[in-house]
Amino acid sequence: MNRDRVVRILVVITAWWVVLMPFVQARNLSMRVGIDYLEFLSIYVPELVVAAACVVLLPGAWMLQRWAAIGLPVVALMLPVLKTWLGSPTYGSWPVSSALLLLLAWAAYSLSKREKPSKEVAPT
């Protein structure tokens, strides 16, 4: 399997887990408890902050950009801090989310296509 495909598969898995799952979990729990969806979604503030950052960073990781590979570990380290300070009903899931973000950052950084320009002068 091509290394670019591995990164793209990781982007899709990370997008599903980090960006989409908080909305699905809030919907399921709001239906189970009988509270309005938007009111229940306000409990998921740490996940929504990380999801907003990932919406910006994941397309960059898809294109193997270094700025995305540098931003993803920052988001991965921000997640447990936010979940600890603000609280969350899914507190135990942050190791999985952080591991996915760090793995994706490592893969995108190692495969980034930005090359340093050479300063060689052609012989005359």
113: how many CB neighbours lie within 10 A of its CB? 9
Average pLDDT of every residue of the chain: 86
d(CA 111, CA 16): 22
| pLDDT (average), residues 88-94 | 81
Question: pTM for the full model?
Answer: 0.80
Length of the chain: 124
CA distances from 36 to 22, 27, 72, 89, 92 (A): 15, 9, 32, 16, 24
- Residue 56: pLDDT band (50, 70, 90) is very high
Q: What is the pLDDT of residues 6-55, one digit of tens each?
A: 889 999 999 999 999 989 988 998 889 888 888 888 888 889 999 999 99
- Residue 121: pLDDT band (50, 70, 90) is low
Residue 45 half-sphere exposure toward CB, CA atoms < 13 A: 10
